C-alpha cells in the first residue's frame, strides 16, 4: 500500500473511561486489505470470547478499505460485533456517507470498547473524539428527530455522517438497526442493540480530508473507466431506475416471493406494491451514497391529509427497497401502498431491522391464527393485510408492554422456542429469513453464509440461473467460492451492487494505482483466507453448524425448483460441516 | 463580449448527493477526497429535502477580490477571479465576503480554494446537475 495513505490508522475508543487513541496498524492493512478482512482481525484481538453481546465487554469495529473514497462504489462501511440476535459473529454493512467520512477523517477503522453509564454521543474528526452528553436525546421517539438535532448541533455539513439508533436500540430489541444519513442502515443482526447497551446514541463522523494517491495519472484513468462502465453500460442501470424493488414482479412470476409467512410463494397483491407501481405513483426522490454515480436509494413521497383541517397535508419521504417490501409487505399480506409505506416509516422511526420485524410479525400472525397464542399475547388482532394493527404491533416490539413482546423482541427463534410454532418460524442460524424462496441455493446460502444473509453468497441468484439444481456438494462449493470472493469486495470495500464492474481484473487494476501489487490469483487466495478466518472466529465464539436446519415451512411450500427435500439439505450441510472442520483444524 | 467559462447549476433538484463533482475537483491534483475541492454538495436540512450545490458563479464584480488586501485575488476578464497564491497571506476575508459560501479553504496551504472553471467536475456529474457554460452578460 501507499506509505502515505492514512488508511492504516485505527482509532480506538474506550467508552467507559472516555479515552481514545490511535495506532498505526499497517501490519493488518498490508495483510488483510481493509473492511471485513481487517475488521475480523481487530475483533479477534479485542473481543473476549465469553463476552455477552449486550455487556460492556462486547466490541464494535467499523472498517473501510482502499477503495473507500478513492473509487466509485467505495461507499460501504463494514461493522463487526458480537450479535445479540444470534450470539455469534455479527457483521453488517451500510452505505450512505459513513465510509467516506471515516476515510477522509484519516482512519481505516474504528474500534469501540466498553460502555458508558450515561447516554452519550461521539463526534469523531481528524483530531480525535469528543464525548458528548446525550441524556437529552435518549428516549426521543423518532430517529429522524435525532438526526435533525445532531445536524444542528455539529459542524461539517456535506462532509459528515450521522449514525444513530432509535428507541428499538435503546430498548435492546435484538434486531435493532443503526441508521446513517436517515435512510441507510446497519440493519441486520442487532448492532442497534449493541449501541443501546453501551448507552451510545449516535456517532457523528466528520471527514473533509483527502487520500494521497500512489499513481496519480493511472488513478485518473482507471477512475474514468469505472465511471464510464457504471453510467454508459447496463451493468448498473436497473438499480437507478426502479432500484431493488424491480425484483417484486419477477420473483412473484416464478413463485419465489415469500408471502404470508411463506404459506405461499406468490402474492396476489404483488402488482400493487411492485417496484413499477411504487415508482410510478410515489417516487419522490433518489439519493446516492457518497462517490456512487448510480443513486439506488429510492424515497417514496407519501402525502397524507390531516383529519382536523381541510387542505392541510404532510408529506413524508420514506425509503423503500425490495427486502422491506417483502418483509413488511408480502409476508404480512399488505398490498395497500400507503399502508405499506406507513409501516415502513414506523419501522424506520423506531430503528428496527425491517426484515427481522416482518418475519417476526408474520410468525406471530400465523401463531395467532393457529391458536398457539391469543390476543392476550398479541394485544392487537394480527390479520394479513391489516397494516394499522401491524403498525401497533411494531411499536409494541419496541415498547414491550407484555412478556410476549419482550420475547418477540429477541427474534423469531426465541419466540417460537417459548410459545411453539417452530416449524413455521423462518429463522436461519438465528437470523430471520431474507426474501427469496428461489430454491436450494437461497436456503442453503442463508444457513451456511457467515452472517446468514442472502448477500453472503447470493444463492438466490444461482437458483435463478440454473435450470436444474446442482448436486448438493457442488452447490456448497459454489456458494463458498462466491462468499470467498465477496470477502474481497467487502474488504475493499466496494458495494456488492457493483460486483459486475469490480471483476477481479478491474480490482487488480484499481489497486495498482493505489500502490498494491496483487494479481487475480493472489486476490482470490486472500478472499479464501478471510473467509476461513471468519469461520475460525465463529467457531471460537461457539458456532454450532450441526444445529443448522431449514425451517419445515421451507420444505412445504413449493419453490421454482419444486418442493425442496430434506435429504438434499442434509447432504449439503454435511459437505459444509466437512469443509468447516478442515478449515478449523488448519487454523 | 468575452466568452469566459463558468459552472452552471442546471437543476439542483436532479442532484442525488453522490458528490462525484467534489471528488473530481480533488482528482485534478491526482488525489482522492475533498481537501482541495472547490465545490460542495450538502443536503438542504436533511437528505429527504434534496441538495444544494455550492460553487463559484463567476460574478462580474466579485466581492472576494474587493476585500483581498494583498491583490492575490484579482477579477478575471469576463467574470470570476484568479488567485495568485504567492501574494496571499491567508487572512480569509474572501471566505467571509462570499455570500454564497463558494470560497473554500485549503487548511494545509492556509489559502482559499478558488474555482478555475475547468469543468472537470461537470464531466463526472451523472445526472445533469452541472454544466460548463459561458458567463452571460448581466
Task: Pick the residue of B18, B51, B123 with the most A CBs within 10 A to test the interface with A by mutation.
Answer: B18
Structural domain contains residue A222: no
Kindly report the CATH number assigned to the domain that includes residue A176: 3.60.9.10
Q: How far apart are CA A389 and CA A173, in angstroms?
A: 20
In a domain, A227, yes or no: no
Residues 6+ apart with CB under 8 A from A508: A518, A519, A520, A523
pLDDT tens digits for range B6-65 = 999 999 999 999 999 999 999 999 999 999 999 999 999 889 899 999 999 999 999 999
Tell me what the pLDDT averaged over chain B comes to: 94
Per the CB < 8 Å rule, is B18 touching A231? no
- Shared domain for A287 and A357, answered yes or no, is yes
Which CATH number does the domain housing residue A267 bear?
1.10.569.10
Q: Are residues A454 and A383 in the same domain?
A: no
Rounded Cα gap, residues A51 and A264, in angstroms: 40
Of the candidates A381, A414, A429, which is a domain's last residue? A429
Q: Does A213 touch chain B (CB under 8 A)?
A: yes
Question: Smallest CA–CA separation between B97 and chain A, in Å?
Answer: 20
In a domain, A257, yes or no: yes
Please give the domain boundaries of chain B with CATH numbers for all domains.
Answer: 5-134 (3.30.70.20)
Nearest to A110 by CA among A66, A78, A76: A78
pLDDT single digits (tens) B59-115: 999 999 999 999 999 999 989 999 999 999 999 999 999 999 999 999 999 999 999
**In which band, very low, low, confident or very high, does the pLDDT at A198 lie, cut at 50, 70 and 90?**
very high
Position B1 confidence tier, pLDDT thresholds 50, 70, 90:
very low
Report residue A418 as a C-alpha cell.
417459548
CB contact under 8 A, B48 and A285: yes
| A217–B20 C-beta distance less than 8 A | no
Domain shared by A261 and A128, yes or no = no
Q: Does residue A220 sit within a domain?
A: no
Does A445 lie in the same domain as A408? no
Q: What percent of chain A has pLDDT over 90?
A: 98
How confident is the model at residue A263, as a pLDDT?
98
pLDDT reading at A488 higher than 80 = yes
pLDDT digits (tens, 9 = 90+) for A515-571: 999 999 999 999 999 999 999 999 999 999 999 999 999 999 999 999 999 999 999
User: Is the Cβ–Cβ distance between A550 and A429 less than 8 Å?
Assistant: no
Set of chain B residues whose Cβ sits within 8 Å of the Cβ of A159: 34
Considering the domain architecture, whether residues A157 and A276 belong to the same structural domain is answered as: no
The answer to whether position A218 is within a domain reads: no
Within a domain: residue A422? yes
For chain A, how many structural domains are there in total?
3
- Cα A540 to Cα A555: distance, rounded to the nearest angstrom: 31
Task: Based on the fold, state whether residues A393 and A312 are members of the same structural domain.
Answer: yes
List the single residue in B19, B33, B46 with the smallest CB-CB distance to A211. B33
Q: Is residue A67 domain-shared with residue A179, that is, in the same domain?
A: yes
Answer yes or no: do A213 and B43 touch at CB < 8 A: no
Boundary-marking domain end, from A398, A429, A460: A429
**Residue A152 located in a structural domain:** yes
Q: Kindly state whether residues A410 and A466 are assigned to the same domain.
A: no
Please confirm whether the linkage preceding A506 is cis (ω < 30° from 0).
no
Interchain pair A287, B16: CB under 8 A: yes
Residue A161, chain B, CB below 8 Å: the answer is no
pLDDT (tens digit per residue) in A519-530: 999 999 999 999
Say whether both A381 and A239 belong to one domain.
yes
3-state helix, strand, coil in chain A (%, to 5): 45, 15, 35
A509 in a structural domain? yes
Enter the pTM of the model: 0.97
**Do A193 and A87 have their domain in common?**
yes
Q: Is residue A420 located within the same domain as residue A442?
A: no
Instruction: Give A-chain residues touching B33 at CB under 8 angstroms.
Output: 69, 103-104, 208-211
Same domain membership, residue A60 and residue A117: yes
Work out the minimum CA distance from B138 to partner chain A, whole angstroms: 31
Last residue of a domain, one of A429, A462, A491: A429
Contact A41, A142 (CB under 8 A): no
> Of A69, A144, A288, which is closest to B32 when you measure between CB atoms?
A69
Give the structural domain span for A77. 6-206
Amino acid at each position: 500500500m501507499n506509505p502515505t495513505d492514512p488508511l492504516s490508522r485505527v482509532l480506538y475508543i474506550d467508552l467507559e473511561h472516555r479515552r481514545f487513541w490511535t495506532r498505526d496498524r499497517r501490519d493488518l492493512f498490508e495483510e488483510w486489505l481493509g473492511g471485513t478482512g481487517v475488521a475480523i482481525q481487530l475483533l479477534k484481538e479485542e473481543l473476549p470470547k465469553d463476552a455477552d453481546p449486550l455487556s460492556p465487554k462486547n466490541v464494535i469495529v467499523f472498517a473501510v478499505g482502499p477503495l473507500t473514497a478513492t473509487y466509485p462504489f467505495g461507499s460501504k462501511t463494514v461493522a463487526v460485533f458480537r450479535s445479540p440476535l444470534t450470539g455469534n459473529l455479527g457483521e453488517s454493512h451500510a452505505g450512505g456517507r459513513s465510509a467516506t467520512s471515516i476515510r477522509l477523517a484519516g482512519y481505516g477503522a474504528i474500534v469501540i470498547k466498553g460502555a458508558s453509564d450515561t447516554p452519550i454521543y461521539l463526534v469523531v474528526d481528524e483530531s480525535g473524539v469528543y464525548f458528548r452528553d446525550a441524556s437529552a436525546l435518549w428516549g426521543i421517539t423518532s430517529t429522524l428527530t435525532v438526526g435533525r438535532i445532531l445536524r444542528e448541533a455539529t459542524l461539517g455539513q456535506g462532509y459528515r455522517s450521522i449514525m444513530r439508533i432509535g428507541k428499538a436500540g435503546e430498548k435492546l430489541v435484538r434486531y435493532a438497526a443503526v441508521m446513517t444519513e436517515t435512510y441507510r442502515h446497519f440493519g441486520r443482526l442487532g448492532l442497534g442493540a449493541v449501541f443501546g447497551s453501551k448507552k451510545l446514541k449516535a456517532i457523528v463522523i466528520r471527514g473533509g480530508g483527502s487520500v494521497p494517491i500512489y499513481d496519480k495519472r493511472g488513478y485518473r484513468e482507471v477512475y474514468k473507466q469505472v465511471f464510464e462502465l457504471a453510467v454508459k453500460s447496463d451493468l448498473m442501470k436497473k438499480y437507478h431506475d426502479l432500484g431493488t424493488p424491480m425484483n417484486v414482479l419477477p420473483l412473484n412470476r416464478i413463485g419465489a416471493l415469500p408471502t404470508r409467512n411463506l404459506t405461499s410463494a406468490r402474492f396476489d397483491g404483488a402488482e400493487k406494491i411492485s417496484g413499477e407501481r411504487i415508482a410510478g405513483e410515489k417516487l419522490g426522490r433518489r439519493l446516492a451514497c457518497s462517490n456512487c454515480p448510480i443513486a439506488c436509494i429510492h424515497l417514496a413521497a407519501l402525502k397524507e391529509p390531516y383529519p382536523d383541517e381541510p387542505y392541510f397535508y404532510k408529506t413524508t419521504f420514506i425509503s423503500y427497497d425490495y427486502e422491506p417490501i417483502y418483509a413488511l409487505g408480502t409476508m404480512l399480506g399488505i398490498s395497500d401502498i400507503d399502508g405499506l409505506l406507513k409501516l415502513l416509516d414506523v419501522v424506520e422511526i423506531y430503528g428496527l431491522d425491517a426484515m427481522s420485524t416482518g418475519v417476526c410479525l408474520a410468525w406471530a400472525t400465523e401463531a395467532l391464527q393457529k391458536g398457539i397464542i391469543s390476543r392476550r399475547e398479541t394485544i392487537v388482532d394480527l390479520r394479513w393485510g391489516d397494516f394499522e394493527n401491524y403498525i401497533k404491533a411494531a411499536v409494541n416490539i419496541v415498547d414491550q408492554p407484555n412478556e410476549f413482546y419482550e420475547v418477540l423482541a429477541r427474534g423469531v427463534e426465541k419466540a417460537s422456542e417459548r410459545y411453539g410454532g417452530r416449524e413455521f418460524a423462518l429463522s436461519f442460524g438465528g437470523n430471520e429469513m431474507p426474501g427469496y424462496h428461489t430454491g436450494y441455493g437461497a436456503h442453503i446460502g442463508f444457513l451456511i453464509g457467515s452472517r446468514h444473509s442472502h448477500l453472503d453468497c447470493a444463492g438466490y441468484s444461482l437458483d435463478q440461473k440454473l435450470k436444474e439444481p446442482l448436486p448438493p456438494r457442488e452447490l456448497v462449493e459454489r456458494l463458498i467460492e462466491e462468499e470467498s470472493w465477496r470477502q474481497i469486495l467487502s474488504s475493499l470495500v466496494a458495494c456488492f451492487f457493483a460486483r459486475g464492474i469490480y471483476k477481479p481484473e478491474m480490482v487488480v487494476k484499481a489497486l495498482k494505482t493505489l500502490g498494491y501489487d496483487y494479481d487475480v490469483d493472489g486476490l482470490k487466495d486472500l478472499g479464501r483466507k478471510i473467509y476461513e478466518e471468519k469461520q475460525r472466529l465463529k467457531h471460537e465464539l461457539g458456532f454450532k453448524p450441526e444445529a443448522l436446519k431449514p425451517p419445515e415451512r421451507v420444505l412445504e411450500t413449493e419453490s421454482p425448483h419444486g418442493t425442496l427435500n430434506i435429504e438434499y439439505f442434509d447432504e449439503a450441510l454435511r459437505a459444509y460441516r466437512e469443509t468447516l472442520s478442515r478449515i478449523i483444524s488448519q487454523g | 463580449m468575452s466568452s469566459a467559462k463558468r459552472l452552471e447549476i442546471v437543476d439542483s433538484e436532479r442532484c442525488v448527493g453522490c458528490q462525484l463533482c467534489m471528488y473530481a475537483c480533488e482528482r485534478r491534483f491526482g488525489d482522492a477526497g475533498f481537501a482541495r475541492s472547490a465545490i460542495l454538495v450538502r443536503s438542504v436540512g436533511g437528505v429527504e429535502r434534496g441538495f444544494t450545490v455550492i460553487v463559484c458563479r463567476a460574478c462580474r464584480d466579485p466581492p472576494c477580490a474587493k476585500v483581498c488586501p494583498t491583490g492575490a485575488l484579482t477579477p478575471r476578464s469576463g467574470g470570476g477571479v484568479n488567485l495568485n497564491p504567492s501574494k496571499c497571506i491567508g487572512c480569509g476575508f474572501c471566505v467571509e465576503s462570499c455570500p454564497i459560501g463558494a470560497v473554500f479553504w485549503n487548511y494545509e496551504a492556509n489559502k482559499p480554494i478558488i474555482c478555475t472553471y475547468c469543468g472537470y467536475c461537470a464531466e463526472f456529474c451523472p445526472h445533469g446537475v452541472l454544466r460548463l457554460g459561458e458567463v452571460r452578460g448581466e
